[in-house]
């Protein structure tokens, strides 16, 4: 059997401030709240066809059982979100208005090929890449 991956289903981000992270991913990046289980310390946000799960550090659902690894903001390098349309100038303006400091948009390779992308950081220091459509 060969496993065939179609897309990312969800990404789990451990967070110290669920409210700030929820605001950032919804108000700045356009995610929508989908499900919340306060008793587990879990907020699930719709990101296109995928989910971003925010798990409260030290909460019942946190399998990390404590703080992130020493010297790191979390347990991942970055999260890449495919966005369309990709207007670097408009994205940069929007992100800057919300207090984010996006990097310069450059061409990078992604799941669909070479296309524009830019990096920024969420409120807890996790790197997020916004990836545009590939060039034809």
- The pLDDT value recorded for residue 33 is 96
Q: For the chain, give me the number of helices (H) and strands (E)? A: 2, 8
CA distance 75 to 89: 30
Segments of the chain scoring below 70 in pLDDT: 1, 3, 63-76
Q: Report helix, strand or coil for 107.
A: strand
Which superfamily is assigned to 10-131 in CATH?
A: 2,3-Dihydroxybiphenyl 1,2-Dioxygenase, domain 1 (3.10.180.10)
- The pLDDT value recorded for residue 69 is 45
- The pLDDT value recorded for residue 125 is 87
- The pLDDT value recorded for residue 73 is 53
- The pLDDT value recorded for residue 36 is 94
- The pLDDT value recorded for residue 6 is 76
CA distance 92 to 136: 24
- The pLDDT value recorded for residue 60 is 85
């Amino acid at each position: 059997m060969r496993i065939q991956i179609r897309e990312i289903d969800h990404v789990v981000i451990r967070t110290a401030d669920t409210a700030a992270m929820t605001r950032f991913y919804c108000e700045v990046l356009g995610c929508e709240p989908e499900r919340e289980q306060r008793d587990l310390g879990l907020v699930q946000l719709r990101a296109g066809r995928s989910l971003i799960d925010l798990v409260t550090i030290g909460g019942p659902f946190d399998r990390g059982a404590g703080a992130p690894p020493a010297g790191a903001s979390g347990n991942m390098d970055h999260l890449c979100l495919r966005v369309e349309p990709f207007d670097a100038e408009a994205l940069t303006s929007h992100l800057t208005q919300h207090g984010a400091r996006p990097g310069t948009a450059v061409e990078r390779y992604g799941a669909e090929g070479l296309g524009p992308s830019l990096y920024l950081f969420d409120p807890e220091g996790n790197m997020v890449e916004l990836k545009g459509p590939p060039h034809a």
